[in-house]
Chains A and B, each alone.
Chain A
Amino acid sequence: MNGNMVQALNLALEQEMLRDERVVLLGEDVGVDGGVFRVTEGLLQKFGDARVIDTPLAESGIIGAAIGMAVYGLRPIAEIQFMGFVFSGFNQIVSHAARLRNRSRGRFTVPIVIRMPYGAGVKALELHSESTEALFCHIPGLKVVVPSSPFDAKGLLIASIRSDDPVIFLEPKKLYRAGRQDVPENDYEIPLGTAKVVREGEGLTIICWGAMVPQAQEAADAVEKEEIFPEIIDLRTLSPLDHETIIQSVQHTGRALIVHEAPKTCGLGAEIAALINEKALLNLEAPVLRITGQDIVVPLPKSEDYYYPSPARIVRGIKKTMEF
């Protein structure tokens, strides 16, 4: 299939539902409407309303029910319509989904996937542009996954569905229809916890994920004429982090720049910088720099571009690091 991320996700869902009858979908508008972004389009017709469940408007109810369904032996995929709305269900994720395996000494596991569109860049309403992945990465027991391409979206979603742990699956909505790519029809998994070097380079490693990957690539293109060739790592899984890929790359290049659209303070960039400090300090030629969203509320559409890390800001970061 040559398709965009929405189509790739849809294909992954369809194939996993065909393969494993324990896989069920639930969420607001996921059935008749096919999801507000159409990720679940057509699945109700194919699998019926016992497996594609339109729920009442209640995030805690959705996630709580998914936990119970998982305990009973199903593999539910819950959709939260926008990441900004997940907080009504946050208690269920943090207090239960993440802890039930430990609490029950392994008797009850919670193999659920909580899918949610996240991030800015699509001129949306208030609370429709958040990027609060670090809150989930902080919680033991959760895995956090973010694809940046249609190919990865399919392979990561399949791996998440088959994972025996609860997975927070963040879909960068700016990339939903940003580009098409060949997506194999066969099923394939991209193992969780593995980052990918999306561009090999020298002298600097840019570490990013989700919608920041194309921003970083654009910035890297722009500095080529100045004989700067950054290496770019797409983390793909934010928890657990692929320490090895990050450290190996930084040991090779000697510099690191982290780009994320979440606010700077206590963002995942801080964790990555600390990790580099612990494991590759003596390889560094310059301080680890972060180009991120500011510590402000994501602005409404008219000012959103100030917040969203642009290729120009990333270029500035690259130069600052290289010239240190």
Chain B
Amino acid sequence: MLQILNEKGDVKEDLEPKLSAEDLKKLYSFMVTTRVADTKALKLQRQGRMGTFAQSLGHEACQVGSTYALGKNDWTVPYFRDLGTYVTLGFPLKYWYLYWMGNEEGMFIPKVFNLFTITVPVGTQLPQAVGLGLAANIKKDRIGVLSIFSDGATSTGDFHEALNFAGVFKTPNVFLCYNNQYAISLPRSKQTAAKTIAQKAFAYGFDGVLVDGNDVLAMYVATKEALDKARNGDGPTLIEAYTYRRANHTTSDDASKYRSEEEVKAWEKKDPIDRFRIYLKTKGLWDENFEKQVQKDAEEQVEKEVKEAEATPSPLIEDLFSHTYSDMPQKLKEQMDELKAGLSEDDQ
């Protein structure tokens, strides 16, 4: 398993990436912002101001480290537990909150982001990610496509079809699996009899690497290597990020039904932010003032985004109909008129 930073914050210097002080501070601040935004979302959900969502707690290093390795023209195909990806890309979090508040407008992705939508059916985004890679090959664009999923997805047929296509067509895909040990209640041991998820890559004719998913430096290094390889035309890579889903599957789940408190506690000790803080401190890049500033900035940013999300009006009736087809068929116009007529009668 690739690990550069262990849970005590000790570093393997020979593997350390050449990142500037500024880069390292950014990685820290993105992870903190992710946690702040995630915690805020949980509060909003408990207060009834947001719907069910999938918490990211414990995935900060996987999300931030991998996303930080992306090049300007690379694409990202996320899944539904990827808040840190959005934070790191600089994506306006307003949209992220809006989506989980139940407003379609939240899935709008401004054109400056080569970012795909959230996919709900597990694993089904993977063939699409391969399609992006295949198209890039056809157009001779030298890009990488980072597609993210979790251990549950590796049991789906689409995982197999996607990786098989990627191997055959040598597409520039990086398949990043957060092995967070659970797919809702099902433990990783019941998801597959394979010893690792990474080893599945060999059957498709490309490399698989196992990485400590709570080590942001290892995540960055592994993803960057895989993306460089993809852009050079050397084909796909499967990365297994070994981590743990510390929160419930979603806010509608109760994980105490299927796992012990001790198990969760043990993983808290491996916290990705704690160990990176120790690392920064050793490097002389962290002090109390820096910590306060990072926390303050994160909270301010999150509050601003939430405020904007909550101030966004619900979609108009027209918006619900207008994105079904490129041109609105007569039947939809009639159905929209019928809906509006019914509403105006209710008003009377």
**Interface residues on chain B, size class:** 35 or more
Question: Which of B21-29, B60-68, B156-164, B265-273 lines the interface with chain A?
Answer: B156-164
**Cβ < 8 Å to B, chain A residues 50-82:** 50-51, 53, 55-56, 58, 60-61, 63-74, 76
Within 8 Å CB of A141, what residues of B? 324-325
**Cβ < 8 Å to B, chain A residues 134-160:** 140-141, 143
Within 8 Å CB of B241, what residues of A? none
In the complex, what's the smallest C-beta–C-beta distance from B74 to chain A, in angstroms?
Answer: 12
Taking a contact as CB atoms under 8 Å apart, the answer to whether B331 and A102 are in contact is no
Taking a contact as CB atoms under 8 Å apart, the answer to whether B121 and A60 are in contact is no
Taking a contact as CB atoms under 8 Å apart, the answer to whether A102 and B127 are in contact is no
Interface string of B104-136 (1 = CB under 8 A from A): 110111010000110111001011111111111
Question: Which of A10-18, A92-100, A298-306 lines the interface with chain B?
Answer: A92-100
Within 8 Å CB of B128, what residues of A? 64-65, 67-68, 71, 92, 96
Question: Which of A1-9, A31-39, A103-111, A262-270 lines the interface with chain B?
Answer: A103-111
Taking a contact as CB atoms under 8 Å apart, the answer to whether B165 and A58 are in contact is yes
Taking a contact as CB atoms under 8 Å apart, the answer to whether A64 and B158 are in contact is yes
Out of A51, A60, A66, A91, name the residue touching B138 (CB < 8 Å).
A51
Within 8 Å CB of B161, what residues of A? 56, 58, 60-61, 64
Out of B124, B135, B329, name the residue touching A64 (CB < 8 Å).
B124
Q: How far, in angstroms, from A24 to B134 measured CA to CA in the complex? A: 11
B139 within 8 A of A: yes
Out of B104, B120, B124, name the residue touching A102 (CB < 8 Å).
B104
Taking a contact as CB atoms under 8 Å apart, the answer to whether B121 and A64 are in contact is no
In the complex, what's the smallest C-beta–C-beta distance from A93 to chain B, in angstroms?
Answer: 11
From DSSP, what is the main secondary structure of chain A's interface residues? mixed
A163 within 8 A of B: yes
Within 8 Å CB of B105, what residues of A? 105
Interface string of A236-278 (1 = CB under 8 A from B): 0000110110000000000000000000000000000000000
Within 8 Å CB of B348, what residues of A? none
A165 within 8 A of B: yes
Taking a contact as CB atoms under 8 Å apart, the answer to whether B107 and A65 are in contact is no
Q: How far, in angstroms, from A73 to B116 measured CA to CA in the complex? A: 13
Out of A66, A105, A163, A241, name the residue touching B331 (CB < 8 Å).
A241
A123 within 8 A of B: no
Question: Which of chain A's residues has its CB closest to B75's CB?
Answer: A72
In the complex, what's the smallest C-beta–C-beta distance from B323 to chain A, in angstroms?
Answer: 4
19 A-B pairs, CB-CB below 8 angstroms?
A: A51-B138, A56-B168, A60-B158, A65-B127, A68-B128, A69-B132, A69-B134, A71-B128, A91-B158, A95-B120, A101-B326, A102-B324, A105-B104, A105-B105, A105-B108, A108-B109, A141-B324, A165-B326, A243-B330
A56-B161, A64-B131 are known contacts; what are 4 more A-B pairs with Cβ within 8 Å? A69-B131, A72-B135, A74-B135, A163-B326
Q: Closest 7 interchain pairs by CB?
A: A68-B131, A64-B127, A61-B161, A72-B135, A240-B329, A65-B131, A164-B326
